[in-house]
Amino acid sequence: MSRNNKIKNRVLVVDDNAKNIQVLANHLKGDNYEVEYASSGKNAILMLEKEEFDIILLDVMMPGIDGFETCRRIKNIEHRKHIPIVFVTAKTDLDSLTLGFEYGGVDYITKPFKADELLLRVATHVELKKARDLLNYHKTYLEKKEETFTDELKTKQIEFKKEKENLISLIKSQSQLIKILTDVYNESLNNLSTPVSLLKLQISAQEPTVLINEIENFIKSNSSTAEFILKNQAVFISQEAALSKTKFAAERLIANVLSEVASQLRAKSIKVTSQFDKNIEILGDADLIENIIKSIVENAIQYSPENSIIHISLIESETNYTLTVTDEGEGFSKQYVLYPFQALQDENKLYRLSLFFAKYVLDLHQFELKIGNNTDSGAFVKIIFPK
């Protein structure tokens, strides 16, 4: 492409002297610039209201509105303030030059000027303007993209909120269904408990069979689990939002649990030993934590032999508190140790749902639950409360 076919940059020359305008125009047109002119600051401002230029060459000494005031007014035109203004002036004193920059000028050319200097300075500022224009174009493009992305994100958030509300509605419907099924289930268990008790009385002279004990344990365990689910269904629906967190005295809570299971302990002549660090307070949902600890102790009682010992400790370390319940029972199965806290059948025995729900609730608290078997006999369950 030849030089003459290049897109011409537009220059506005503002000068009250026609000869100066002609000299500037001759130099610029020869270097492929399109030159327009205004004979006063007022005319320049009127032109700029309608036309776009790549650079303005502005004389300082003009009648009426001088160059400095003209520059100030141009910079107040919102859609033209980005145009670089170069002063063409015979005034080279420091105060005049400083004033020109203060009003918004980017450079100055002293009269009489040299053609090479003029063209070099004009070319430099035109290229800088084009670079700024390109940068602003990309900035505007990215801002529009960001705005579009933000709108799309808001739309997705609204859609997600609706889906969440639909899901919660579905869960609530399912919860109602669970309640109906659990009521039927509990009624069946209650109907089963009476014949089991009669059957035990009939064979009271003999050791109750393992099957009868398993049926009775199944009734007790699953009845309490169903009651736990119904009582705390809001937690399973709303998760952490349903927790009522307060600070509670851990030792007093454990004392409440032992009081509630006292009859079960006496029935199997099980002794409880304890080791507590004093004045430990824990932040959490006290009712839920109490239910969980009670469930853990009841499991320990259920799987402990008669005349055995259950040990409960609450120990403080640098970073946390650890509650440990240890029994002398048969311990957890290998399957359950490998896949802990799963709502699955444990070697054809009871469904250990209580630990499954305990893990769920403790996770919502960001507490930790651990299980395992002792080296000699029995099992342990630990709850780790961060400080």
pLDDT of residue 215: 56
| pLDDT number for residue 167 | 65
Q: With 50 as the cut, is the pLDDT of residue 272 above it?
A: yes
pLDDT at res. 226: 60
Q: Is residue 342 very low, low, confident or very high in pLDDT (cuts 50, 70, 90)?
A: low
Q: Which CATH architecture has domain 243-387?
A: 2-Layer Sandwich (3.30)
Q: Is the pLDDT of residue 132 over 60?
A: yes
Residue 283: both structure tokens together: 């932040």
How many Cα atoms occupy the beta-carbon half-sphere of 210 within 13 Å?
A: 3
Is residue 186 over pLDDT 90? no
Residue 297: is its pLDDT beyond 80?
yes
The reply to whether 3-113 and 243-387 are identical in fold is no
Average pLDDT over residues 212-230: 58
Instruction: Give the residue extent of every domain in the chain.
Output: 3-113, 243-387
pLDDT at 115: 87
Q: Which of 141-145, 240-244, 317-321 has the highest mean pLDDT?
A: 317-321
Model pLDDT, residue 4 = 47
Write down the pLDDT at residue 300: 92
Of the listed ranges 112-116, 240-244, 306-310, the one predicted with least confidence: 240-244
Q: What is the mean pLDDT of the chain?
A: 81
Q: Give me the CATH topology for the region 3-113.
A: Rossmann fold (3.40.50)
For the residues 36-55, what does the mean pLDDT come to? 93
Mean pLDDT in residue range 262-288: 93
